[in-house]
Structure 1
């Protein structure tokens, strides 16, 4: 994710989902570990959704609101959580990053591709 410390905003991201992992991905997200949900909230993230599209291949689209004032610090705190690292190892294994040189959700240039918001209506 691009380094920025802007305040509240909406964020859209995408990543490929391995076809053989679709059902497993859905199952683990039907019962997200409580520690993960708590850390997401503690990192000033809310209104978080993940969508699945099958065209042209399995793609996940995530949308969430960041409501804090120091995005980089909040994301670093999330990345330092051992339970989050365990969750990311599991889910990263089900995905294929569209980001060149990506190595995982915790390290590297970012795992999910970033999207530019071009329209919003409240």
Structure 2
């Protein structure tokens, strides 16, 4: 899930030895433009209902976005995917017109760390992907 104001519709890197069983846990990151921090926080304080509904309908749970200011404004997103057809669910999300509109708005506030990235809705993925190397419940 993968970038945009929320994530990118590209599959996350999967470890050959997942550290646990259960829902697929995904972490992603990207840069936030310093002059857009307040605007980004404001729009995420009032996420559009259609976007929230699509997240839920795409089998995403426990979704959080964190902001770190050092060494430069960086967002880290974490969520659980609880479905069994990740690529299909992310494709359906990417086809939602309200989600596309949200991504166009939030992409302008962000800078992707992914070489060749052009936006949340197309290209190689907008958010940088991470590999889970440790988990304890």
Normalising by the residue count of structure 2, what TM-score does the alignment of the two structures yield?
Answer: 0.85
| Residue matched to 1:103 | 118
Q: Name 1:114's counterpart in structure 2.
A: 129
Q: Do structure 1's residue 80 and structure 2's residue 95 form an aligned pair?
A: yes
- What does 1:1-122 align with in structure 2 at a 5 Å threshold? 1-2=10-11, 8-122=23-137
Is the CA contact 2:12–2:129 (under 8 Å) kept in the aligned structure 1?
no
Structure 2: give runs of 5+ residues left out of the alignment. Answer: 1-9, 14-21
Pairwise CA RMSD:
1.6
The normalised TM-score by structure 1 is 0.95
Flag structure 1 segments of 5+ consecutive residues without an equivalent: none
Q: How many residues align?
A: 121
Query: Displacement of 1:8 after TM fit?
Result: 3.3
Q: 1:30-78 deviations in whole A, cap 9, x for unaligned?
A: 0000000000000000100000000100000000000000100000000
Name the one with the larger helix percent: 1
